[in-house]
Structure 1
Amino acid sequence: MHRKLLIDAYKKAEKEEGLKKKTHVTLFLSDYIVEDSGEPYGEKILRIHYNNAIANTNEKVELKNFAAKSLCNYLGYTAFSDYDTSESVTLVNSKVNFFIKHKIKFLLVIALILGTLLITSFTIENQKWMVWKTNHYEEVSFNIEKHSLNDLKIYNEDRINYFKKVKPSCSTTYFTRNGNEKLWYGKNNQKVLEFFSALGLHPETGKTLKPITEYMIKKYICEDFNKN
């Protein structure tokens, strides 16, 4: 109850009376209480209450009424109720001042968040999307009721036009005249080997596809294949 009152009184005595040691402050305040109230208040009990106050424990700090009134007088208040009210007003003012001081920052943060949400919403609405359908990509609208977020990909014209899943055979052309690959492969989620017409990521696993090799052709597609 009187924790803050006692701490404030000690701080004032240290600052204004030039007292450095806690025992000297305790003696000064004890004498002040006696002179102000006419009632004795020992140094020992005052020191115990002060130690409890600064220890931040659950120990109750409650002075005698006359002692509390005297310390209030020392701090410039006529009664504890005046001191208590002053502390409440100060706390409220501190919160108000903190808000005012940081008002611009708060507003900027809010504006940034709202701006980001608006830009994101606008981008999603105007962005073109595509999904994988069996063996190719198709352009679709952003609709999470029809398509899951994992399936929706940002539209890529090259993916739409050139990236297909194919079933190669012995008659397939695997390399250009310069020897560059024309087929890529990778395993799906069921660990089944699949082949694609362009370099990219596997539509199911997201792993980078590998370029076809003569070894892979002979082992999995056409054992009679001859690159030359």
Structure 2
Amino acid sequence: MKICIFRIMDEKRIEEIVRKVFQKAKEEHASHSRFALSNHISGQSDLSSKTLERAYDRYIDKKEKHGPPNAESIDLLCRYLMYEDYRDYVEKNPIKGTGREWELIVIMGIAFGTILTTILTLRNQVFPSYDDSSSNIEDKDGFIKKNIDEQLIDTNCMTWSDSLYVRISCDTGPFSKYGTDVKPLNQMELKNMRKVEVDAAYPFFSEDGKPLIWYYRNKDNEHEFFTAPGLHPVNGETLRKITPYIIQTYVPVHSKKENSFIKQ
């Protein structure tokens, strides 16, 4: 239930931002066509016209053939609206409750409760002698089955663990055992976001010149490098795409392993 609500709220927020962006563009540009407005916004920001056209299709024309914009694009949309980033937009534009949000929560809560009750009832019918103290059960043929409760654990959340995201139960709490936020599962971040060690030989750009690494400069003036755009997994700050200047100035010539070998 919690995951569904977050997704609905995020989509509503993004749609609200996209509509405001194109409304602002209409006030600034004579032509109001999708193509002309997208090119105008692209010229005023770091967003590509293709990204803007896809956002127009999804949120204004309601053609859901494209997915939602990534975190970096959403930050850039907010900057076009004169906000620092998405977080700044949300803080300065709180959602005004209409009562319908609570209707949705109540309806989804009832549905979730009904499903959970049905599952527990069926479990008791199928395994009437099930011992809650046991972590496994054995069937009549001697095969070991996993504890039924383990199958019911909600793993639709994730948390940052040192250098990558790991799946975790949404019931773990606001913070995981790693001290990082427990947040709704995002398959793209789970698959692509990694913190990596780099040296001068690392492939920072694709063959067509697109960045493959994004960085963050922490409070100790050290640079942290990541394999996907978006927000820093721990502090939520926006990651910046790598540039030749950053590589030349802050990336070591050799990896840590090579440096250790050279010292020996």
TM-score range, shorter chain: 0.3 to 0.5
TM-score by length of 1: 0.42
Larger Rg computed on CA atoms: 1
Q: TM-score, normalised by structure 2?
A: 0.37
